[in-house]
């Protein structure tokens, strides 16, 4: 080895602890694959006295990660704190500005400030690596930046959040309601005490913004992503989707279209015969399509200590070898040089309407759909309950999303409805 690469880690939660444990167990194996001897020298976290399942006594302790980021005693700053602003952003800026390389698992930071940080990295000949920011141990970032760099990509979609996938899988397997399965996910450690970012689609959107930037060769544009979560999905929708030959998954999707790109995060009904329908529980899967490679699937554990730590260490090994690749695969010259984002979708829909069972209700609904050129493919109603509330299930043929939404705004105002409708896009992935 020519010399050592001194590494400081900020954040000793699940991932930070995992990185230290991985080094403790696999250091000899790692250093056979490096250009420099990797050496963990410094750590920083909120509370030094906190009980941990790792030994940190051999490392230099920093109360403030910004001080560690500025220290001349480290070559690489590993940011595992999380969050898009505040200390994580400031510490990464300090590290890059002082010529240090940075490795992060922080998808929110990269999705929100990736352009600015990449420019700082380029100006200071520093590397900014973030393999662990998307899909845990699945090597999707490296694949897009390197292995697939010769391809024009026209499609990326996938399951990017294990919490949501676990909830939807368990609802399907057990028939339990959303709230009960969410509580089980929290007990098992698959969901945070505040799971909002997971279930409302924000976490998936952060990851999709990173993937989209790599696909398009432009800065991340989180604000352009249309986001819907899984909060409104009920066990009835899971059961009806099964009867119709579908399953429900929360997907992040970016598609190349004639007028630009579509970027969206939302629940999808997909055929049970689809490859992605078999990705259950906390697993992630990403489907990529290029003009020469064709369709490609990467799947595995998308979160957790081990898989995410593995991704962090892969970035450190790349740095030790001097693999200098711009953060997003190419230089991002202009933040405003962004291709037009086309958010309009043309496709079929599933609708669940809770209505009072009385004559003329279906005719009123059908009329509003017809007025917006939305064609009904099928109607399902189980049983009769005159004067009582029943579920009315409708699927449509392919239709313009704007027309569909206009029709649904009219339908929402009908007196027969007892609650807002549930609307899920049907995708033939």
Buried/exposed 198-211: b ≥16 CB within 10 Å, e otherwise:
bbbbbbbbbbbbbb
Distance CA 351, CA 357 (A): 17
- Around Cβ 179, how many Cβ atoms within 10 Å? 9
CA nearest to 215, candidates 159, 152, 257, 134: 152
**Domain identity same for 155 and 296:** yes
CATH of the domain at 54: 3.40.50.720
Is the residue at 291 inside a domain? yes
**Domain identity same for 17 and 103:** yes
Condensed to tens digits (0 to 9), the pLDDT of residues 112-135 reads 999 999 999 999 999 999 999 999
Q: Which of 133, 148, 172 is the last residue of a domain?
A: 133
Condensed to tens digits (0 to 9), the pLDDT of residues 71-85 reads 999 999 999 999 999
Domain limits for position 356: 346-426
CATH of the domain at 380: 3.30.70.260
Condensed to tens digits (0 to 9), the pLDDT of residues 286-306 reads 999 999 999 999 999 988 899
Contacts with 24 (C-beta within 8 Å, 6 or more apart), sequence order: 54
**Domain identity same for 269 and 361:** no
Catalytic residue numbers, as ranges: 207
**Domain identity same for 115 and 160:** no
**Domain identity same for 222 and 283:** yes
CATH of the domain at 295: 3.30.360.10
**pTM score over 0.85:** yes
Please report how many Cα atoms fall inside a 13 Å half-sphere around the Cα of residue 56, on the Cβ side: 25
Is the residue at 326 inside a domain? no
The pLDDT of residue 53 is: 87
**Domain identity same for 284 and 403:** no
Domain count, the chain: 3
The pLDDT of residue 1 is: 39
**Domain identity same for 50 and 110:** yes
Q: Which of 96, 115, 133 is the last residue of a domain?
A: 133
**Domain identity same for 144 and 129:** no
Q: How far is CA 324 from CA 145, 290, 319, 378, in A?
A: 11, 24, 7, 55
**Domain identity same for 174 and 240:** yes
* Percent of all residues in the chain with a pLDDT value above 70, rounded to a whole number: 96
User: Helix 178-187 and helix 162-174: axis angle, to 10°?
Assistant: 120
**Domain identity same for 190 and 256:** yes
What is the phi/psi pair of residue 260, to 5°? 145, -140
The pLDDT of residue 26 is: 95
- Around Cβ 428, how many Cβ atoms within 10 Å? 11
Q: Please report which residue ranges of 73-145 form alpha helices under DSSP H.
A: 87-97, 107-123, 140-142
Contacts with 382 (C-beta within 8 Å, 6 or more apart), sequence order: 390, 391
What is the phi/psi pair of residue 398, to 5°? -60, 135
Distance CA 366, CA 369 (A): 5
Is the residue at 171 inside a domain? yes
Is the residue at 81 inside a domain? yes
In sequence order, what are the beta bridge partners of 282? none
Is the residue at 330 inside a domain? no
Query: Across the 429 residues of the chain, what is the mean pLDDT of every consecutive 10-residue run?
Result: 85 94 93 89 93 91 97 97 95 97 97 95 95 94 95 96 96 95 92 92 97 90 92 94 96 86 94 95 95 95 91 96 89 59 81 92 95 95 79 96 96 93 95
The pLDDT of residue 365 is: 96
Q: Please report which residue ranges of 56-159 form alpha helices under DSSP H.
A: 65-70, 87-97, 107-123, 140-142
**Domain identity same for 371 and 296:** no
Is the residue at 13 inside a domain? yes
Is the residue at 363 inside a domain? yes
User: Do the beta carbons of residue 248 and residue 173 sit within 8 Å?
Assistant: no
Q: Which of 300, 333, 354 is the last residue of a domain?
A: 300
**Domain identity same for 226 and 241:** yes
Q: Which residue has the tokens 């057990």?
A: 174
Is the residue at 118 inside a domain? yes
């Amino acid at each position: 080895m020519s010399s050592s690469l001194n590494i400081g880690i900020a954040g000793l939660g699940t991932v930070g602890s995992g990185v230290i444990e991985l080094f403790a167990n696999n250091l000899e194996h790692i250093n056979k694959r490096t250009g420099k001897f990797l050496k963990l020298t410094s750590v920083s976290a909120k509370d030094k006295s906190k009980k941990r399942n790792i030994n940190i006594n051999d490392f230099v302790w920093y109360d403030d990660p910004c001080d560690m980021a500025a220290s001349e005693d480290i070559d690489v700053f590993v940011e595992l704190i999380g969050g898009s602003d505040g200390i994580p952003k400031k510490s990464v800026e300090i590290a890059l500005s002082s010529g240090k390389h940075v490795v992060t698992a922080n998808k929110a930071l990269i999705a929100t400030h990736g352009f600015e940080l990449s420019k700082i990295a380029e100006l200071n000949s520093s590397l900014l690596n973030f393999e662990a920011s998307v899909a845990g141990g699945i090597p999707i970032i490296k694949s897009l930046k390197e292995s697939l760099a010769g391809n024009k990509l026209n499609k990326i979609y996938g399951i990017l959040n294990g919490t949501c996938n676990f909830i939807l899988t368990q609802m399907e397997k057990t028939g339990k309601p959303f709230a009960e399965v969410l509580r089980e996910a929290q007990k098992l450690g698959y969901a945070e005490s505040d799971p909002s970012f997971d279930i409302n689609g924000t976490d998936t959107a952060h990851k999709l913004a990173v993937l989209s930037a790599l696909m398009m060769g432009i800065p991340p544009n989180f604000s352009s992503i249309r986001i819907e979560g899984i909060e409104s999905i009920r066990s009835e929708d899971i059961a009806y989707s099964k009867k119709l030959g579908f399953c429900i998954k929360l997907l992040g999707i970016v598609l190349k279209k004639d007028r630009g790109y579509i970027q969206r995060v939302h629940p999808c009904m997909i055929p049970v015969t689809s490859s992605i329908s078999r990705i259950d529980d906390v697993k992630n899967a990403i489907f990529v399509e290029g003009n020469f490679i064709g369709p490609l699937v990467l799947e595995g554990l998308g979160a957790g200590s081990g898989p995410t730590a593995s991704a962090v260490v892969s970035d450190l090994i790349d740095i030790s070898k001097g693999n200098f690749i711009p953060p997003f695969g190419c230089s991002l010259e202009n933040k405003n040089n962004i291709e037009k984002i086309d958010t309009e979708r043309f496709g079929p829909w599933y609708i669940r309407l809770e209505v009072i069972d009385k004559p003329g209700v279906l005719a009123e609904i059908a009329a509003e759909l017809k007025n917006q050129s939305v064609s009904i493919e099928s109607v399902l109603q189980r049983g009769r309950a005159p004067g009582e509330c029943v579920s009315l299930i409708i699927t449509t043929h392919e239709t313009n999303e704007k027309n569909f939404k206009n029709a649904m705004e009219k339908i929402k105002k009908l007196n027969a409805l007892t609650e807002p409708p549930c609307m899920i896009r049907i995708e033939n992935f």
